[in-house]
């Protein structure tokens, strides 16, 4: 059993920064779990506190049935891969991989066998005699993984392990990591600030902000049903449009536009209620001519994203009645603002975008 359970876990650094704020989280046995959030939200602190590299100021950490809150790192049966890999530059690949086994006083012969076997699994066999400085970034990353794997820990903790790789290598390493985790079946906590990486890799994701968990769910859940505007704004390749709206019977009024109430909102809102309406740029349609009832605004920027374009519109609010030359028609809804103006983005297929 190697589930990880955190109860009211708190970390206050000397100087008073509350990096973890009474955080509750359960990670299941064998799960590939992503911790996602902006820089400074406490991801590394949480990982280091699970590893025992930071002492919790309050609360508890259990790994399986064991309360490890006050155990030193070496007694927790976890392995951590650091963002910068932290390989020993003066040691060979073989010595780096075997290092944790040496600490555990495994004999020389078994260490060499185990290192060779792990290197083989990660495609590093030809590189055992090299030093880290003689390896590419991707190879260094695999050595760091191999070092973590060599002692068969119950838990893998990976702190932004792909962030130092260039874009193409990162995609390769991502696929590799996912396959490796599936094969090993080891409970893995993976830290990233990259929402696409979290969506692509994880069985479940915890979205963090300010030392707290804002939502836990599968990639589909956090993408389709964000629990709050923070998660809505953080998940997605382009940020979700978030606009003020008011419920009016079967419709939503957004500025001067009237949009059908989304099906899944029915029964969850009351007539006259003011709310924030969120809709992804992918789910809006764009029309170059005004459509009655739809949200109308001025095109300000067109960004070419390859197969699609991202069109940004300035949408006037209720009381600014200026002329409009473009429309965003919602299948799922749209966006506006009670007062001033608001910015709305629409993803438009190739060929359908306005002339820049
Ligand atoms: P993340 O990994 O999400 O970027 P961190 O866990 O590194 O976030 O940091 C969370 C907060 O704790 C930040 O405000 C950071 O400045 C602070 N912090 C991190 N490490 C220390 C430390 N050793 N001493 C004091 N404050 C720290
Ligand atoms: Mg960090």
pTM assigned to the model: 0.86
CB-based contact 66:223 (threshold 8 Å): no
The yes-or-no verdict on residue 324 having pLDDT over 70 is: no
Cα separation, 165 vs 179, in Å, equals 18
Cα separation, 37 vs 165, in Å, equals 19
What ipTM does this complex have? 0.99
Q: Which of the pair, 193 or 320, is modelled with greater confidence?
A: 193
- Indicate which atom in ligand 1 lies nearest the CA of residue 160: 2
| 157-172: average pLDDT | 86
Of 50-64, 105-119, 163-177, the poorest mean pLDDT is in 163-177
Q: Which of 15, 40, 208 to probe ligand 1 with, by most ligand atoms within 8 A of CB?
A: 40
Of 115-129, 268-282, 319-333, the poorest mean pLDDT is in 319-333
CB-based contact 316:255 (threshold 8 Å): yes
| 281-300: average pLDDT | 89
What residues have CB less than 8 Å from 29, skipping those under 6 apart? 1, 2, 3, 64, 187
The per-residue pLDDT for range 92-146, each reduced to its tens digit, is 999 999 998 888 888 989 888 989 988 888 888 899 999 999 998 888 989 999 9
The per-residue pLDDT for range 293-308, each reduced to its tens digit, is 888 889 999 999 888 9
Q: Which of 10, 17, 49, 159 to probe ligand 1 with, by most ligand atoms within 8 A of CB?
A: 17
The yes-or-no verdict on residue 336 having pLDDT over 50 is: no
**Cα 204 off chain centre by:** 10
The yes-or-no verdict on residue 12 having pLDDT over 80 is: yes
Domains of the chain: 4-234 (3.40.50.300), 241-349 (no CATH)
Q: What does 169-212 look like in DSSP terms, one character per residue?
A: HHHHHHHHHHHHHHHH--EEEEEES-HHHHHHH-SEEEEEETTE
Nearest in space to 147 (alpha carbons), one of 104, 86, 100, 183? 100
The per-residue pLDDT for 337 is: 37
């Amino acid at each position: 059993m190697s589930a990880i359970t955190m109860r009211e876990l708190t970390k206050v650094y000397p100087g008073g920064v509350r990096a973890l704020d009474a955080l509750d989280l359960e990670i299941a046995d064998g799960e590939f779990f992503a911790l996602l959030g902006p820089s400074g939200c406490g991801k590394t602190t949480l990982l280091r506190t699970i590893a025992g590299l930071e002492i919790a100021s309050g609360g508890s950490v259990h790994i399986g049935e064991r309360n490890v809150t006050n155990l030193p790192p070496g007694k927790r049966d976890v392995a951590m891969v650091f963002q910068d890999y932290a390989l020993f530059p003066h040691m060979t690949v073989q010595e780096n991989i075997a290092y944790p086994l040496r600490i555990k006083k495994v004999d020389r012969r078994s260490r060499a066998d185990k290192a060779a076997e792990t290197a083989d699994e990660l495609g590093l066999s030809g590189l055992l005699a090299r030093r880290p400085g003689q390896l590419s970034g991707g190879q260094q990353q695999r050595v760091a993984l191999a070092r973590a794997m060599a002692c068969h820990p119950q838990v893998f903790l990976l702190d932004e392990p792909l962030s130092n790789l260039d874009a193409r290598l990162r995609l390769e390493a991502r696929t590799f990591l996912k396959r490796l985790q599936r094969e090993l079946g080891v409970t893995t906590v993976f830290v990233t600030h990259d929402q696409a990486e979290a969506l692509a890799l994880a069985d479940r994701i915890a979205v963090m902000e300010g030392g707290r968990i804002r939502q836990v769910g599968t990639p589909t859940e956090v993408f389709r049903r964000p629990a709050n505007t923070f998660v809505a704004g953080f998940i997605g390749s382009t940020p979700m449009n978030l606009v003020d709206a008011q419920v009016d019977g079967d419709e939503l009024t957004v500025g001067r536009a009237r949009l059908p109430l989304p099906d899944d909102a029915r029964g969850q809102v009351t007539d006259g209620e003011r709310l924030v309406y969120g809709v992804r740029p992918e789910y809006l349609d764009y029309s170059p001519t005004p459509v009655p009832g739809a949200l109308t605004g001025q095109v300000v920027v067109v960004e070419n994203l390859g197969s699609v374009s991202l069109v940004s519109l300035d949408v006037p609010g209720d009381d600014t009645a200026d002329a409009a030359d473009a429309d965003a028609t919602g299948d799922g809804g749209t966006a506006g603002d009670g007062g001033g103006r608001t910015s709305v983005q629409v993803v438009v297929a190739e060929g359908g975008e306005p002339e820049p």
